[in-house]
Amino acid sequence: MEPIRYEPEEVICRCKQVTLGDIDRALHNHTHFSDVEKEFAQVQKMTACSTGCGGCHDKIMAVISQIISG
C-alpha cells in the first residue's frame, strides 16, 4: 500500500471533523501500542472519529497502522 502523506490539518473524518493531527495526538497519549484494532477503538473513544457514516474507517485504520509501525 502507498504510504499516506501526513498532513496534520487534513480532515480524515468529515462527519466528526477529525484531523490526522487529532489521530496522531490521540495515539501518542499512551505509550503502549497493542494491535491496530485496539488502537482504533482508543482513538475512536477520544476523537469520536468514524462514529458517523463510517466511511473513513479503512482510511483511519491505515493511518493508525502507519503511525504505530513508525
Cα 23 from Cα 67, distance rounded (Å): 9
What amino acid is encoded at 19 in this protein?
T
Contact yes or no for 24/8 (Cβ under 8 A) = yes
Site string for ligand FES, 14-53 (x = CB under 6 A): xxx--------------------------------xxxxx
**CB-wise, 25 or 57, nearer to ligand FES?**
57
Using CB under 6 A as the binding rule, whether residue 11 contacts ligand FES is answered as no
C-alpha grid cell for residue 11? 480532515
**CB-wise, 14 or 31, nearer to ligand FES?**
14
Q: Exactly one of 56, 63, 64, 67 binds ligand FES (CB under 6 A); which one?
A: 56
What amino acid is encoded at 3 in this protein?
P
